[in-house]
Amino acid sequence: MDYEAFYRGRPVMITGGAGFIGSNLAHRLVQLGANVLLVDSLIPDYGGNLFNIRDIEDRVRMNIADVRQESTMSYLVRHVDVIFNLAGQVSHIDSMRDPYTDLEINCRSQLSILEACRRNNPGIKVVFAGTRQVYGKPEFLPVTEQHLVRPTDVNGINKVAGEYYHLVYNHVFNVRACSLRLTNIYGPRQLVKHNRQGFIGWFIRLAVEGRELQIYGDGSQLRDFVFVDDAADAFLRAGASDACNGEVFNVGGSEPVSHRDLVQLLLEVAGTGSARCVEWPAEKKAIDIGSFYADSAKFRAATGWQPRVGLREGLARTVAYYREHLPHYLEPGDPGAAPAS
């Protein structure tokens, strides 16, 4: 099946649609001729940013709503064929400081969406944005889907609960659903105004601003990285394929790279910034999982997906984007921030 043609004229909804991955996915869906509804609460710290959809705002519908609002979700899901469910709280540190909010957004909201589907549109397809954080500290590398699930923080626990809700609704209520366990996604439209949603976006901002990047420890820990266009392609393939129903899939990069080598490449691409190694902050060391990279063979076999954008190219495209648009991604009080619209 031509998974791109599948979306032509098809009504789809993206929760977290003004956020990082959601907005990039929306751009791709618009190009494919889909009828796109974006739902986003625009909570300031979570990455939703109307600037992310400024160039497609006349070709999508935008509903500013919280996915925890059951009556709203019950109405919205009635009119769509596929939901890309990307709404969530993704900061590991924030989840440890405020576990109840993380529980609300990553568990209760998922039940609201799935119950709305079960009661109002049981024929829908839902693709959930999972995370590699559910595995915790890996026992073997690369990590396959057979690895034990044992998160090291509240966010990981709630994300795996959200994921399992989707699988239960698939198996018991026939609401077709699957989960993509994403590794480190990076690229244009990523939140960079603080460093609580992963280090790579923050590092890119610091490099663009010519500041110092601090590498924790000796920088030897390994990670894999996926450019956001490749992540969006993974969601499109999963949404169009019933072979994915009821399953979880790793979506990881083509090869692991150490933090130290990543930073060296980023500074080389940007031509600005500097780096040094520093001691681990205690609150981050306590939930760090060490080296991690995923085996995505299961997803490749099911859908034909593979990452196409190499790390150097992806970093170059991301640096160029923020060189042009950084003021729109800063806090209002930051020097150089765009004026409030």
Domains in the chain (CATH in brackets) are 5-188+225-253+293-308 (3.40.50.720)
pLDDT reported for residue 3 = 97
CA–CA distance, 125 with 84 (Å, rounded to integer): 9
For residue 231, the model assigns a pLDDT of: 98
Please tell me the predicted confidence (pLDDT) of residue 28: 98
- Residue-by-residue pLDDT tens, the chain, 341 positions: 699 999 999 999 999 999 999 999 999 999 999 999 999 998 876 778 999 999 999 999 999 998 888 899 999 999 899 999 998 776 767 778 888 888 888 888 999 999 999 999 999 999 999 999 899 999 999 999 999 999 988 888 999 999 999 999 999 999 999 999 999 999 999 999 877 767 899 999 999 999 999 999 899 999 999 999 999 999 999 999 999 999 999 999 999 999 999 999 999 999 999 999 999 888 777 767 889 999 999 999 999 999 999 999 999 999 999 999 999 999 877 777 777 65
Supply the Cα-derived Rg of the chain in whole angstroms: 19
pLDDT of residue 260: 95
Nearest to 322 by CA among 222, 210, 165: 210
Per-residue b or e along 114-149, where b marks 16 or more CB atoms closer than 10 Å to that residue's CB: bbbbbeebeebbbbbbbbbbbbbebeeebbebebee
3-state class (DSSP) for residue 289: coil
Residue pair 265/312 in contact by the 8 Å Cβ criterion: yes
- Close Cβ partners of 318 (under 8 Å, ≥ 6 residues apart): 186, 187, 188, 190, 204
pTM of the model: 0.96
Which three-class secondary structure state does DSSP give residue 224? Answer: coil
Question: Tell me, what's the pLDDT at 171?
Answer: 98
**255: DSSP letter:** S
pLDDT value of residue 1: 65
Tell me the C-alpha distance between 130 and 133, whole Å. 9
Strand 222-223 relative to strand 257-258: parallel, antiparallel, unpaired?
antiparallel
Q: List the alpha helices (DSSP H) in the chain.
A: 20-31, 70-76, 92-97, 99-103, 109-120, 154-173, 199-208, 228-240, 259-270, 282-285, 297-303, 311-325
Backbone torsion region of residue 335, taken as left when φ is above 0, otherwise alpha when ψ lies between -120 and 50, otherwise beta: beta
